[in-house]
Structure 1
Amino acid sequence: MSAPARAAAVDLTDPHKKDIAMQLVSSAENSSLDWKAQYKYIEDIGDGRGYTAGIIGFCSGTGDMLDLVELYAERKPGNVLAKYLPALRKVNGSASHSGLDPNFTKDWATAAKDTVFQKAQNDERDRVYFNPAVQQAKADGLRALGQFIYYDAIVMHGPGNDSVSFGGIRKTAMKKARTPAQGGNETTYLNAFLDARKAAMKTEEAHSDTSRVDTEQRVFLKAGNLDLNPPLTWKVYGDSYTIKS
């Protein structure tokens, strides 16, 4: 009698797996598994990117916050954040709050109660970060854990190609190990990617705590949990988290 077939693995686009991915990112970005509570989050974390806000850390200094507020204005003209568009265009590429203070953070929190704005955050997260990360990971032959590792990296480092952006980190990893799509071992490749990611994080004071790699992603990788199946237990910045199912 043949052994029962293993349940087909699902990738990160599966709604439950995607929710797990969002909880994992939120544990690192917001010290909470309740990622939906982060639509209203906004603060300057002192990393030179201006305000960091929302479910994925959209930044006033890097353009993704501008894109988000433009999308929101397109879908809901005259919304509470639309008046800040000229200021967001001016501060893009800098740490400046010019034209945003004193009420931008308060108005952001107001906008965050609007389901139109929440959906705009979800859609921009998918367009800029989630979909490109998962597509690249699948093309590289990676399962759900690898897809998440790419996603977490693109969230923190951005989708560019310089050495400390997602594309550069991937390039560094591929010099050390072949991807599964190239015939390489998945675990070996992911370890090489996490090594490159850590090196990129250490170039920046704001990201110098590498626990989201060391005591989260490596824990799943060492356990051989390449499908990112719960239960999952990990630590970030010394805090422990569990997703039971």
Structure 2
Amino acid sequence: MLAFSTSAAASGSAAGSQVRVAARVAPCDSAWNGATPYVSGNKVSYRGINYTAAYWTQGNYPASSSGSADSAQPWIAGTACRVAKVAAAASDHDANFSPATLQFLKTNTGLDGEQWDNIMKLVNKPEQDSLDWTKFYGYCEPLGDKRGYTIGIFGATTGGPNDTGPDGPALFKEYDAASGAAKPSIAGGLTRAGVHGSMQGSILNITDSTTVFCGKIGGLQNNAAWREAMWHTFYNVYIKYSLQQARQRGFSSALTIGSFVDTALNQGADGDSGSLEGVLAKSGSSTNEKTFMTSFYAQRTKVVDTNEYNQPPNGKNRVKQWSSLLGLGETDLKDADAAVIKVTNWTLK
């Protein structure tokens, strides 16, 4: 008991000291924004450090473009600061998911709402030219490349001659399950959505007109069961495999996982040389995550603009988003709002 009491007293003393030190640290200035122009004397903060602008600057990261007042760098580095409202920032990201989805993602991927929100922004930019991915749960459009319809936040397809392994059927079955069906089925999900169609082999043949079908899908935009089904299908078809590929190489960063998911989504999880499996096979065997991912992005860049689902230069920009974040050291996708905006500042053709 004496040993415990002594330890507790020492711990309490140390904790009190830490609190006093924290109290002396100045609050952080307004967070740096890559899209904002700054003039001499403007003050910002970035990752727990305050900075002062030496002269007009825009888009220059304070951490990598700073020095003393006579360094000729655009930013003058200051002292460490106390970051405020971290919880509020995290809750802003979390608000894009239901509590059930947040728990599902955390349990199955180890990543939180902020990380998945940023991943989805990067996924959605080359798909919809928007960072507001949550508007697309009810997205629906007929594809002109014989893959049927594309629907939802990850573009599930109903299938066709150029897509004989569509994920749309699984989505409707998950919707039936999320809606409480004892024995979920594709037909049950279609009925719940008010959609008419049937399976022809592995293809989901929709018999409604485009106007009717897409109208029904659009009506599910705010349906809680549809949203849960969307994430469960996304995980089962693309995320789970991508996680396995990252983890078996010893990689666990949000950037790597997101990069693999985006590749699987855009080019297929496994199969030919252009799929995630194929690109991984050509990326070497380095156990250093940055080295491997640098090679991975280089290999993927060779594929994307030749992929029929991308129109140059959309594919290369799609890869560049992720590789640019790697170069900036934003591998955990935390406190990365400004960086995500910066790397997605390109025009979709």
TM-score by length of 2: 0.56
Aligned partner of 1:218 in structure 2 is 323
Which runs of 5 or more residues in structure 2 are unaligned?
1-105, 160-164, 180-187
- Which residues of 2 match residues 70-149 of structure 1 at below 5 A? 70-76=173-179, 77=188, 78-81=191-194, 83-84=196-197, 86=198, 89-90=199-200, 92=202, 99-102=207-210, 103-142=212-251, 143-149=253-259
Q: Does 1:197 align with 2:300?
A: yes
| 1:28 correspondence with 2:133 | no
Distance 1:155 1:187 in 2: 22
Cα distance between partner residues in 1 of 2:116 and 2:262: 12
Contact 1:169 1:196 in 2 (8 A): yes
- Give runs of aligned pairs for residues 140-159 of structure 1, distance below 5 A: 140-142=249-251, 143-159=253-269
Sort the Cα spacing of 1:15 and 1:131 in 2 relative to 1 into closer, same or farther, 3 A.
farther
Letter in structure 2 aligned against 1:46:
G
RCO comparison, higher one (Cα < 8 Å, 6+):
1
C-alpha separation between the residues in 2 aligned to 1:93 and 1:203?
A: 25
Deviations 1:124-176 (A, max 9, x none): 11121123212321221222211111111111112123212111111121xxx
Q: Counterpart of 1:156 in structure 2: which amino acid? A: N
Q: Which residue type is aligned with residue 129 of structure 1? A: Y
Tell me the equivalent position of 2:285. 178
- After superposing the two structures, state which structure 1 stretch, 221-230 or 190-199, moved more: 221-230
4+ runs of 1 displaced by more than 6 Å? none
Partner amino acid, structure 2, of 1:14: D
In 1, Cα distance between the equivalents of 2:136 and 2:116? Answer: 16
CA contact (8 A) 1:69 1:82 kept: no
Number of residues of Structure 1 aligned to a counterpart in Structure 2: 219
Identify, as 1 or 2, the structure richer in helix.
Answer: 1
- Structure 1 pair 166–192 and aligned structure 2 pair: CA distance change class (3 A): same
Q: Which is higher, the Rg of structure 1 or of structure 2?
A: 2
**Do the aligned partners of 2:254 and 2:332 also contact (CA within 8 Å) in 1?**
yes
Are the counterparts in 2 of residues 43 and 53 from structure 1 also a CA contact under 8 Å?
A: yes
Aligned residue number for residue 18 of structure 2: none
1:242 maps to: none
Which blocks of at least 5 consecutive residues in structure 1 are unaligned?
Answer: 1-9, 240-245
CA RMSD of aligned residues (A): 2.7
State the TM-score, normalized to the length of structure 1.
0.78
Deviations 1:56-109, CA, capped at 9 Å, x for gaps: 01011142011111222344443124532x1xx228559xx6624242111111
Identity over aligned residues, as a percent?
Answer: 25
